[in-house]
Amino acid sequence: MTPLDWDRHPPALTPGYFSSVTRSPRENLIPLNPTTAELTGPVFGAQHIGALDGDLLRNAAGPDELAIGPRIIVHGRVLDEAGRGVPDALLEIWQANAGGRYRHARDGYLAPLDPNFSGCGRVLTGEDGGYRFDTVMPGAYPFPNGPNAWRPAHIHFSVFGWAFAQRLVTQMYFEGDPMIRHCPIVATLPSAEAVDALTARYDPANDRPMDARAFRFDIVLRGRRTTPMEA
Amino acid sequence: MKQTPSQTAGPFLHIGMMPEGGTVPLVSPLPSGDPITLHGTIFDAESAPVTDALIEIWHPESGWARAPTDGQGSWRLATTRPPTAPFVSLWIIARGINTALQTRLYFPDADWPNDPAMAKIPRARRGTLVASQAAAGAYHLDIRLAGEAETVFFDLQGGDDQ
Ligand SMILES: [Fe+2]
């Protein structure tokens, strides 16, 4: 397994994101050769995907109802560092509604809930590592982190690869959003390139004309170390 | 290609990872084996309970399971005892954790002192990974994200090319 690439991942302690201060280990991570335990992982399949799990426009909507907000398609591929597609990777996704409000007991933001939107989805990658889901563009929302902090529009992702050591949780942002450069959580990332890697691109070639705009977001998981033979 | 960066799961991870209905439960079958319960509390640097975390466990001999922490920062998981391994793997996320934390729970009655991983860990810190037996078939391990008796966390790397 390749090590975590600290040119890409945020360090544990990032004082500009207040919540990290009391929740970040101060000791260094200890490098460890994974055993079979960590080089395998749970296997999920089509039986774990409900019929509407990949359609957030409809999966919490009443009959003949739809979620409110700009209709979008999010798609891309899950890859390893060698660029190979990861098939049967499970993606769990969650997001705020178009007004920036989560359907969660602890979210008290002023923006109203949408009775037809839960913000929860789940998809499995295909043979080439490809995935897609339909949803609404999430709204920006404020969060407690100093006098005035806002999250850019974003979608949360939890990704399972083939190994437990590949487990990833991240967030996807949207190309052109002016809120990205003001966000203290985005600012935990170590470089502009890392921010760019989390920024989905508008992808008009995959729009559904007169229906929904497409955004492309590829996800690269840690992988096997390349052997000299392959290099 | 370069790894996709991690970001915190934030405070609302339950929406996507513990959905309350509308889809199928995400479970992996329990291999046959002795049923056990694992539990503990997650504490922050000030020893306050972390009430919005999520923990996952995995071992090929005992399957996969996940649980959120409750209002007291406590988690509880039903699984099976791996017949041959001295540990199960743990993965922890929460608001404020920028990159998910990986660690292990060792069983106190296993031969954990001779596990190869222990040699990589300063002696004084090894105990942070060893559960205590709370009852028959029940093991307890507190996780301390920072501060005194900080849990040992790992970066798993190498090991797959020998
Ligand atoms: Fe969020």
Whether residue A8 is contained in a domain is answered as no
- Closest CA relative to residue B44, chosen from B69, B65, B67, B66: B69
Nearest to A29 among B26, B50, B154 (CB): B154
Q: Which positions in chain A touch B16 (Cβ < 8 Å)?
A: 92-94, 119-122, 156, 158
Lowest mean pLDDT among A154-158, B31-35, B80-84, B137-141: B31-35
**What pLDDT is recorded for position A83?**
94
Flag whether A17 is in a domain: no
Q: What is the structure's pLDDT at A161?
A: 94
User: Which of these ranges, A1-5, A180-184, B23-27, has the smallest mean pLDDT?
Assistant: B23-27
Confidence of residue B23 (pLDDT cuts 50, 70, 90): confident
Options A101, A154, A173, A222, the catalytic residue: A154
User: Tell me: the pLDDT tens digits for A45-68?
Assistant: 999 999 999 999 999 999 999 999
DSSP state string for chain A? -PPP-TTTSPPS--TTSGGGTTSS-SSPPEEE---HHHH------GGGS-TTTTBTTTTTPPTT----S-EEEEEEEEEETTS-B-TT-EEEEE---TTS--SSTT---SSPP-TT---EEEEE--TTSEEEEEEEPPPPEEESSSSSEEEPSEEEEEEE-SSGGG-EEEEEEETT-TTGGG-TTGGGSSSHHHHHHTEEEE-GGG-BTTTBEEEE--EEE--PPPPTTT-
Q: Is 0.85 exceeded by the ipTM?
A: yes
Least confident residue range of A5-9, A32-36, A57-61, A223-227: A223-227
Q: Is residue A99 part of a domain?
A: yes
Q: Which of B2, B102, B156, B162 to mutate to test the interface with A (most CBs of A within 10 A)?
A: B156
Instruction: Taking the CA atoms of A46, A50, A56 and A57 in sequence, report the sign of the dihedral they define.
Output: positive
The shortest C-alpha distance from B128 to chain A (Å) reads 13
Q: Is there a catalytic annotation at residue A106? A: no
Look at residue A197 and tell me if it is in a domain. yes
* Whether pLDDT at B160 is above 60: no
pLDDT at A144: 97
Residue-wise pLDDT for B89-111, tens only, equals 999 999 999 999 999 999 999 99
Tell me what percent of the residues of chain A surpass a pLDDT of 90: 92
As a whole number of Å, the end-to-end CA separation of chain B is 23
Q: What is the pLDDT of residue A226?
A: 62
User: Stretch A28-35: mean pLDDT, rounded?
Assistant: 91
Q: Which CATH class is domain B5-144?
A: mainly beta
Is residue A227 in some structural domain?
A: no
Residue-range domain boundaries for chain B: 5-144
Of residues B29 and B17, more confidence is placed in B17
The pLDDT of residue A34 is 85
| pLDDT tops 80 at residue A193 | yes
Q: How many domains does chain A have?
A: 1
- Please check whether residue B60 is in contact with residue A37, taking contact to mean a CB–CB distance below 8 angstroms: yes
Confirm whether A36 is domain-assigned.
no
The pLDDT score that the predictor gives to residue A231 is 39
Q: What radius of gyration, in Å, describes the C-alpha atoms of chain B?
A: 16
What pLDDT, on a 0 to 100 scale, did the predictor assign at position A33? Answer: 87
Q: Scanning every residue of chain A, which has its alpha carbon at the shortest distance from the alpha carbon of B4?
A: A220
Residue A85 lies in a domain: yes
* CATH number assigned to the domain comprising residue A60: 2.60.130.10
Q: Which residue of B has its CA nearest to A151?
A: B10
- Can A151 be counted among the known catalytic residues? yes
Cβ atoms of A189 and B5 within 8 Å: the answer is yes
How far is Cα B140 from Cα B145, in angstroms, rounded to an integer?
Answer: 16
Q: Give contacts of B100 with chain A, Cβ < 8 Å.
A: 167-169
Q: How large is the average pLDDT for residues A189-209?
A: 98
The pLDDT, as a whole number, for residue A148 is 97
Residue A19 domain-assigned (yes or no):
no
The dihedral region occupied by B33, where left means phi > 0, alpha psi between -120 and 50, and beta the remainder, is: left
